[in-house]
Amino acid sequence: MKRTILTIGIASTVLVLSVQAATNKEIKLEAKSAIIKLGKTLKGEVAKSMKAHGPQSTAYFCYKSAKSITKKINETYPKGVSVKRISLKNRNKNGYPVAKDEIAMLKKLEKQIKEGKKLPKMIVEKISENHYKVYKPIFIGKKCLVCHGDVQHRNKDAYKTIKEKYPNDKAIDYKLGDFRGAFVADIIK
């Protein structure tokens, strides 16, 4: 009798773990798709503006359009899915995380970097039974330095526009490959 109960207990534990693994995998796939869509759209629009109008106009374009682009992209996701970018060194006040779990995650990621640890590509956090947040770290690329780099790499004209539009800007003095923040996919099933 005890052996049967133990076997049933182990089997149900294995089943629960495999269901959780499947759920995490599904959540990751859904989040990855949403994050890629937002990331590619923002990056593409910035690149298009940079090529057509240069850094200063692109800085203004980001000020005027990044929020509305993000909103439009979020409207295309299924109900219960949204994506945003967050950073502890934000440029736009809306880019600073307000949720305690998001602030904690960014601090955790920063700590891991300081300790020399490689960050995972995506982190799934279960908030409640049907609520998940998936984080994808963002790193500074070469093109990012035009507006986010140090004095040597930052475009002076673009930065004049940035300082005018974002007087409390903290999103500067980055070097190539620095941790910038994260995309957060918020998924409620």
pLDDT (tens digit per residue) in 45-98: 999 999 999 999 999 999 999 999 999 999 999 999 999 999 999 998 878 898
Name the residue among 166, 167, 174 with its Cα closest to residue 150. 174
Q: Which residues contact 160 (CB under 8 A, 6 or more apart)?
A: 56
For residues 97 and 82, give the distance between their C-alpha atoms in angstroms, rounded to a whole number: 14
Residues 43, 47, 53, CA angle at the centre, nearest 5°? 140
Q: Is 158:146 a contact under the CB 8 Å cutoff?
A: yes
Residue 15 has pLDDT above 50, yes or no: no
Task: List the end-to-end C-alpha distance of the chain, in Å, as a whole number.
Answer: 39
Backbone angles phi and psi of 22, in degrees to 5: -65, -45
Element (H, E) at 22: helix 2-75
Confidence of residue 153 (pLDDT cuts 50, 70, 90): very high
Residue 158 CB neighbours (<10 A): 20
Q: Is 54:74 a contact under the CB 8 Å cutoff?
A: no
- Per residue in 103-130, pLDDT (tens digit) is 999 999 999 999 999 999 999 999 999 9
Token representation of residue 137: 């770290």
The confidence score (pLDDT) of residue 189 equals 86
For residues 189 and 173, give the distance between their C-alpha atoms in angstroms, rounded to a whole number: 39
- Between the CA of residue 132 and those of 31, 67, 78, 117, what are the distances in Å? 10, 23, 15, 24
For residues 5 and 157, give the distance between their C-alpha atoms in angstroms, rounded to a whole number: 72
Domain range list for the chain: 2-188
Say whether 43 sits in a helix, a strand or coil. helix
